[in-house]
Amino acid sequence: MREYYPLLVVGAMIGVMSVIFIVAYAMLKNKKEAIGFDRNMKDGEIVRRLLQYAKPHWKSFVFVILVMLFSIAYDIVSPLIMGNLIELVKSDFELSTLFGLVASYAGILIVSVVCTYIQSIVLQKTGQKILSAIREDLFIHIESLSHDQLNQIPVGKLVTRVTNDTNAISMMFTNIIVNLLKNVFIILGVLVAMLCVNYLLTLMVLCFVPFIVLFTVIFRKFSRKAYRKVKDGTTDINTFLSENLSGIKITQIFNRETRKMEEFEKKSNELGSAKRKQIFVFGVFRPMVYMLYISSVLCLFYLGGKGYIDGFSFLGQTINAGIVVTFYSYITKFFNPIQNLAEQFNWLQSAFASAEKIFTVFDMDPALKDDPEAIELTEIRGEIEFRDVWFSYIPDEWVLKGVSFKVEPKQTVAFVGSTGSGKSTILSLICRNYDIQKGQILVDGIDIRKIKISSLRRHFGQMLQDVFLFSGTIRSNIILREDSFTDEEVLEACRYVNADSFIGKLEQGLDEPVRERGNNFSAGQRQLLSFARTIIHKPAVMILDEATANIDTETEILIQNSLEKMMSIGTMLIVAHRLSTIQKADNIILLSQGQIMEQGTHQELLHQKGRYYQLYTLQSHKEALKNS
């Protein structure tokens, strides 16, 4: 009975490992709600969609697999050489035989190292190409989303998808997939070699495989959930940082630094908790595999040693010192890939979790799409008509209610009214930033839904109250990276809108650097640059949404002068609270609660002595008091 004690000890070890794993399984299962993420996609779907990006590079992957087969020769052959060396040393041998074995070992090692190097270089280049393709497609898809969809998605979340999540997928193509295949080939090759050397000892090793499979299945289930939680936590932090760093001036003004720090600490702790759960999942699995490896080595030493001492022979299977050494090496090479598979499987779950997040963005269909029969407009006259237009951002909460009006080519039409009356909404609808629920919007007598969106917007120039300038130079912000414009054309556009009045004073002129969001320029200067940006692209219709708000009196005079010039270019639509800026408009439309209450020229509306007359009288009185 004593001779079986070592085997009983090994069995007890495996039993204890199983109990530990079951306890860990129960702990994770009880925390299912804390992890709280259901699988959104099946692995097969994720793999299929990712392989679409790998398909153009299939030749590179085939080459890598062929090179990989040469590199694993070392793992398969080296234990056999070591075993032969042991037996050779025990017997009488010639130095030439020893040198031959050593040279073979060294040669196989060199080939393996060279093949591994080539494999890594090819994979890195291929992986970066795939990563670039995913990022470009993702960015293009984000650009195609409507204003409404982009308003609902935090910027930090989109940044995380394009950066962090794509990096995780890059690891899969540059490292995980090929190494998974490599480790599988090594395991299969080692098993075949072990069966050829001694199939009885091989069967002993295979007794441990069911436990590995069991632990892997359980690990796979919970590792994905843990990684999803980590990805969501990372997204939350990036979203928080994106929003709060952009608004940090407001935080400082209202002395809310401590409160914001507490919010960040809470999110950071949530991410830390998610990472600890992820580490716990992996920390339970890998030691289990290592313990199985130790158990198999103990069994080998006991059975192999006992068989060698007793001169064991069964069905022609003899055991000698060389076989024991060979099997020890093979067991190491059998379990090392399994442990590597565990780590790579860990990364694979991270990549799959990231892929789910990315494909969630890809699966967002753009709310605004071109009609299959949409036409391209090479030029427009600038005639715009609203026919009984109804629109709401939220179902049944109408912002516009049966609005109808017509703008003739090269007319200047102004929209006035209280906040929330629908003025800015009308301008957004004309450019088809949103789709209306009822009615029609016509440009040159054509329903805008029958015109390609890119073609429609190409003929509109928008100048908004909140001017956005990109990092770069004044020139790059005016031409918007369209290099066909010459410096003379840029300067002419600046002179036309009076932007040259401050650009000429700058040390570097058009090459003056523009910091993030143009914060090194005043609001009025940014507005003049937006005018120049619009003029140089020669739009048929110009839209000004509160473009003269929040600027100083001196700059307002320059802008007013620019507006008068621009009115002669084409159709102009203006939203303005300052009624003094729209007195020369051909038509003024007063809106209230989404409906047109009055319309006409400035003088006609004053003679009516209605709502417009009241607004104008009130503003004139306030300005008189301000100037007195």
Mean pLDDT, each 10-residue run in order, the chain (628 residues): 46 48 45 39 81 87 84 74 64 66 78 84 86 90 85 81 82 76 82 79 78 73 75 82 78 80 88 83 73 76 64 54 75 76 71 85 87 88 93 90 92 89 90 91 93 89 81 86 82 85 86 83 83 85 75 65 71 83 88 92 90 86 65
Q: 41 is written with which tokens?
A: 């996609």
Torsion angle, CA of 207/209/215/217, rounded to 10 degrees?
A: -130
Spatial CB neighbours of 154, under 8 Å, sequence gap ≥ 6: 239, 242, 243
Strands 595-600 and 460-464, by their bridges, are unpaired
d(CA 303, CA 447): 85
Cα(93)–Cα(309) distance, integer angstroms = 24
Give the torsion sign (CA, 125, 126, 127, 133): positive
Please name the helix (run of DSSP H) or strand (run of DSSP E) that holds residue 261, with its range, or none: helix 257-310
pLDDT at 550: 56
C-alpha dihedral (356, 357, 363, 364), degrees to nearest 10: 160
Structural domains in the chain? 2-31+42-362 (1.20.1560.10), 464-538 (3.40.50.300)
The predicted structure's pLDDT at residue 438 = 92
Residues linked to residue 407 through DSSP beta bridges, in sequence order: 384
Question: CA 246 to CA 463: how far, in whole Å?
Answer: 22
State residue 107's pLDDT score: 80
Spatial distance between the Cα atoms of 20 and 345, rounded to a whole number of angstroms: 21
CA angle 507, 508, 510 (to 5 degrees): 130
Q: Is residue 296 within 8 Å of residue 208, measured between CB atoms?
A: yes
Cβ atoms 490, 525 nearer than 8 A? no
Entry pTM: 0.67
527 closest CA partner among 554, 508, 509: 554
Model pLDDT, residue 628: 59
Phi, psi of 41 (to 5 degrees): -135, 150
Distance, CA of 394 to CA of 413 (rounded, Å): 28
Contact 494, 500 (CB under 8 A): yes
CA angle 497, 502, 506 (to 5 degrees): 135
- Measured CA to CA, the distance from residue 181 to residue 556 in angstroms comes to 68
One-letter-per-residue 3-state SS of 300-368 = HHHHHHHHHHHCCEECCEECCHHHHHHHHHHHHHHHHHHHHHHHHHHHHHHHHHHHHHHHHHHCCCCCC
pLDDT at residue number 152: 81
Give the integer Cα–Cα distance in Å for 168 and 302: 44
- For the beta carbon of residue 81, count every other beta carbon within 10 angstroms: 19
Three-state SS string over 510-528 comes to: HHCEECHHHCCCCHHHHHH
